[in-house]
Amino acid sequence: MSIFKPFITSDVIVSPFKVNKSFTFTGNELTGSNVQIDRFFGKNITASLWVSGSNTTGYITPQSSQLVYRSIKELYYSNYIGGDDGAPAATASFNNDGTITGPIYTPNYYNYLSNTLPPSRYFPTGSNEAVTVISIPSNLFGEYLKPGSVNISTGSIVLQDDGLGNLLQGSLKVGDVIYEHGMIIITSNGVSGSLSGYGFVNYGDTVYGLNSFTYVNNFYNGSLTCSFESTVTIYETQYKCTIRENEFNFSNNPSLLSGSISISNGSGSLFPQPGSGKLNDNVTGSYFSPYITTVGLYNNNKELLAVAKLSQPLPISLVTDTTILINIDN
């Protein structure tokens, strides 16, 4: 009988699972060659003519602050500029006769929402108002930032995401986190009060006001500490090695032989040779069973790819199947 046994489809199971890793960077560490966390200052410059190379921003990659502002607005806030409640749900009523009553307010863009809850996104649109963007490279955050893990601070100001994509200072919302893009966006200085009208968005029981240029600028120019957790999917492959009660019941271990011929290796040590001599009495009975210590995984060319070592020798059962599970993380 061959010592190799092929797997069937049901013997191999691939299971994905998420793993996280924590990072914390402070000051100049953020822009180091092994970190490359960039910061941008986006500003609503109303000049009709855009001049290439003007109003630059960015610690690592120079960008135009005007284009940064417009890009962030288009990518993440385009559905919420015209609405005063931040909710893209349709408010119209569909009548039985096929007519529609009331305003229709539905999103026209995909703004990378973090969940299906009613969103609340504020973006400053006044002249010369600004936002700060902290861009984490994908080689650090993996597939996405772990919700609830983002924490940034400058001086005594500490911002934390709530796991729903909202960046908060205490209970006040001051920006948004786009987990799948590694983007932290600061849009407001979160002030509460009895405010109403265009440019204010309800978030729970608190209302937030207009952007503070100084507040946003502090996170661009100030000494910053940034911590977060990355998320990566690892695929674990499980191989089910099943030995039937009538399989692998023979051993080539030379210690099973008695009266064997020993051959010197040239250094004074003698080694018994397999196939010489005869089997010991204790292994000729019907109850003898070999022990397993190692399982090898081979490809179709019978080339050894991996070796699995058991923590202790395992006897092969003579009355039931023996199954060994081998897990390999990719």
Per-residue pLDDT reduced to its tens digit, 148-159:
999 999 988 999
Work out the angle at residue 324's Cα, subtended by the Cα atoms of residues 243 and 294, and round it to the nearest 5 degrees: 90
| Residue 122: per-residue pLDDT | 86
Tokens matching residue 144: 């996405």
pLDDT tens-place string over residues 250-278:
766 666 666 555 555 555 555 555 545 57
Other beta carbons within 10 angstroms of residue 211's beta carbon come to: 23
Q: Pick the residue with more confidence: 3 or 168? A: 168
Highest mean predicted confidence (pLDDT) among 76-80, 279-283, 320-324 = 320-324
Per residue in 92-109, pLDDT tens?
A: 677 777 777 765 556 677
pLDDT digits (tens, 9 = 90+) for 176-203: 999 999 999 999 876 433 333 333 344 4
Q: What is the mean pLDDT of the chain?
A: 81
Residues contacting residue 309 through CB under 8 Å, at least 6 positions apart = 293, 294
Amino acid at 229: E
Q: Report the sign of the C-alpha dihedral through residues 22, 25, 30, 34, in that order.
A: negative
Query: Helices marked H in the chain — which ranges?
Result: 65-76, 138-141, 213-221
Q: What is the pLDDT of residue 177?
A: 97
Q: Does residue 1 have a pLDDT over 90?
A: no
Residue spans per domain, the chain = 9-13+237-329, 17-234
In this predicted structure, what is the pLDDT of residue 269? 54
Rg for the chain, CA atoms, rounded: 33
Percentage helix, strand, coil for the chain under 3-state DSSP, each rounded to 5: 15, 40, 50
292 pLDDT band, cuts 50/70/90, is confident
Q: How far apart are CA 25 and CA 134, in angstroms?
A: 13
CA neighbours closer than 13 Å in the CB half-sphere of residue 160? 6
Average pLDDT (6-32) is 93
Question: What's residue 284's pLDDT?
Answer: 64
Q: Residue 205's pLDDT band (boundaries 50, 70, 90)? A: very low
Query: What sign results for the dihedral spanned by CA atoms 306, 310, 314, 320?
Result: negative
The more confidently predicted of residues 66 and 271 is 66
pLDDT value, residue 79: 82
User: Could you tell me the pLDDT band of residue 121, with boundaries at 50, 70 and 90?
Assistant: confident
Q: Which residues contact residue 267 at a Cβ distance below 8 angstroms, ignoring those fewer than 6 apart?
A: none
- Estimate to the nearest angstrom the gap between the alpha carbon of 133 and the chain centroid: 21
**Rounded mean pLDDT, 42-58:** 84
Q: What pLDDT is recorded for position 263?
A: 56
Contacts of 58 (CB under 8 A, 6+ apart): 38, 39, 40
Asked whether residue 39 carries a pLDDT value surpassing 90, the answer given is: yes
Which pLDDT belongs to residue 66? 92
Q: Is 270 or 40 the better-scoring residue by pLDDT?
A: 40
